[in-house]
Amino acid sequence: MTIASVARVAEASLQVVADLQLPNGAYPASPDFVAYRGYCWFRDGSFIADGMSAAGAPASATRFFGWCAATIGQHADRMTAAVEAARAGTPLDDEAMLPARFTFDGGLGLDPWWDFQLDGYGTWLWALVAHLRRHHLPAEPYLPAVRLTVDYLVSSWHRPCFDWWEEHAERVHVSTLGCIGAGLEAVLAADLLDDGRASGARAAASGIRTLVRSQGTVDGHLTKWVGRSDVDGSLAALVAPLGWISPDDPVATATVAAIEDTLADDLGVHRFADDVFYGGGRWPLLTAFHGMARLAIGDEAGARADLDWIASTATDEGLLPEQVSDRLIVPDALPRWTERWGAVATPLLWSHGEYLRLWDALGRP
Ligand code: BGC
């Protein structure tokens, strides 16, 4: 890749995200992909907003966080019911908890989905605080939604739920724990909570760290879920940009190395070893997390190689896909997915958001 084409993909990324963002701030995950059409995820959206915030489009991020606060406000009763039930020792069923995605107007939507996921609620807190700090913005407009989210996470962080990939609801996933921990620690550090809430958040945040150290770490690296020993590509995000694992911590280096050894195929990172979704290709957004983590631990050349590889996956119009299908883990599984949902989601706005974040971290080459 030439330097110009790397910059061109950044420019296209800023443009495509801006063009597709709804006036109320919602980001579509992917505009035309049949399974995602019409929905905005807290996970994707928070990371996209983080990329836009860092890479020169803060107003877009502000609008997204406004959408998050409004959506949480719309579902305040549901959140409060979940908190009260958990406190009473009678937690709600998974189906009654908050979903991973909402329609653009903040509704629940009618399509069935693998909905009970906790990570996005932590990630929005983390990304919001990072954005407010980066641009010296006031926290007040978000405080009611932040408080509700903190109560929800404090009461439910330990529950098994679907992971980033909307799989394995029976497991406690380390990436999910890291996102929740990063969110709680961010609002604590920003001093956004009253004393009572802050002490609950501190206890939860420290409980998460203890659990991950004792049961979510094997051979010095983080693991995909509590009780499994291999890694998931999402774990790099806990090193950077989330910073929940300090780059000086040997766990950071060991996790990046384990991802490199087992999930990076030349350049480009797979989700996990037994992935069959669209045959299990390599994901630009995971490669961006890997690049950011490498940069954080001092491997700038590796991070730059990751950026170049991601740019090489863009279409002629500069659009980035969810995954690339040239080196599949299970090639035979690909037709099953294309028959069900069509071609790989392109553009995937989250891929663009992470590209922007890595591009910015590398000094906007
Ligand atoms: C991925 C999720 C993502 C969603 C929307 C799914 O295929 O597993 O992580 O949030 O797509 O992009």
Given a cut of 60, is residue 1 above it in pLDDT?
A: no
Per the DSSP assignment, residues forming a β-bridge with 102 are 40
CB within 8 Å of 316: residues ≥ 6 apart: none
Residue 77's Cβ-side half-sphere holds a number of Cα atoms within 13 Å equal to: 1
Q: Are 49 and 129 in contact (CB under 8 A)?
A: no
Task: Give yes or no for residue 29 CB within 6 A of ligand 1.
Answer: yes
What's the pLDDT score for residue 2? 58
Can you give the pLDDT at residue 266?
Answer: 87
Residue-wise pLDDT for 203-247, tens only, equals 999 999 999 999 999 999 999 999 999 999 999 999 999 999 999
Residues 311 and 220: their CA atoms lie apart, in Å, by: 32
Let me know if 166 is a catalytic residue. yes
The structure tokens listed for 210 are 């203890």
Please report, for residues 223, 235, 267, 282, 319, the alpha-carbon distance to residue 287 in angstroms, rounded to integers and kept in the order given: 18, 11, 8, 8, 16
Largest CA distance in the chain: 59
Averaged pLDDT score across all residues of the chain: 97
Protein residue closest via CA to atom 5 of ligand 1:
29
Question: What is the DSSP secondary structure assignment for residue 221, as one 8-state letter?
Answer: E
Residue 171 has pLDDT above 80, yes or no: yes
Q: Which domains are present in the chain?
A: 3-361 (1.50.10.10)
Judge if the beta carbon of residue 350 lies within 6 A of ligand 1.
yes
Dihedral Cα 309, 315, 320, 324, nearest 10 deg: -60
d(CA 52, ligand 1 centre) in Å: 19
- The model's confidence at residue 255, banded by pLDDT at 50, 70 and 90, is very high
Asked whether residue 330 carries a pLDDT value surpassing 60, the answer given is yes
Measured from the Cα of 345, ligand 1's closest atom is: 12
Q: Are 281 and 326 in contact (CB under 8 A)?
A: yes
Closest residue by CA, ligand 1 atom 1? 165
Q: Is 95 a catalytic residue?
A: no
Position in ligand 1 atom list of the atom nearest CA 165: 8
% of the chain beyond a pLDDT of 70: 99
pLDDT number for residue 3 = 58
Range list of β-strands (E), the chain: 39-41, 101-103, 217-218, 221-222, 269-270, 282-283
Question: Which one is catalytic: 119, 151, 166, 275?
Answer: 166
Name the amino acid, one letter, at 56: G
Query: For residues 331-350, b (16+ Cβ closer than 10 Å) or e, as one string?
Result: eeebeebeeeeeebbbbbbb
- Calpha distance 252→254 (Å, rounded): 5
In the predicted structure, residue 183 carries a pLDDT above the cut 60: yes
